[in-house]
Amino acid sequence: MIFVSGSIAYDTIISTVGTFDSSRRGDDNHYSYSLYAPRVIRQAGGTGHNIAYSLGLLWYKNKTILTGSVGSDFIIDERLEQYIDYTHVLKDEQTLTAGAYITNDDENNQIIAFHPWAMASGLHTIPHQKFDYAIVTPN
């Protein structure tokens, strides 16, 4: 068994048309963008979650225990349950799951905004069963 502690978040990936620079006007140092976003994807992410999933895909299928905090909006994807043990993930019904909002332009420039929401609560559990390895990731 491998125990993984770390962030669990939703990644919202927004692809825009054009470049950030083409949205600027003149020599103004102040930014106020309005971007057209024809493609938006929302998927489970976070450092701890991504590592737990990767370990499940590689060789520790059904042997990777994840711990961390999520919000009331978190839904466990049934496809991921075959790779990750979510029994130690705590749900804070008073807030939302942490979120990264990643905006890309046509030249692969990125602007990223992050809000910790449930992750800021610091709620964690440690499994009482024996595990071979523990991985502590950024939270």
Instruction: Give the burial class of 27: count Cβ atoms within 10 A of its Cβ; 0-12 exposed, 13-18 middle, 19 or more buried.
Output: exposed
Model confidence pLDDT, tens digit, residues 19-78: 888 766 667 677 777 889 999 999 999 999 999 999 988 876 778 999 999 999 999 988
29 Cβ contact partners less than 8 Å away, ≥ 6 residues apart = none
User: Is residue 117 pLDDT above 90, yes or no?
Assistant: yes
What is the model's pLDDT at position 128?
82
Rounded Cα–Cα distance for residues 29 and 73 (Å): 37
What's the average model confidence in pLDDT over 122-135?
84
- Please identify which residue in the block is written with the tokens 């895909």: 57
- pTM confidence score: 0.87
- Residues 85-94: b if buried by 16+ CB within 10 A, e if exposed: bbebbebbee
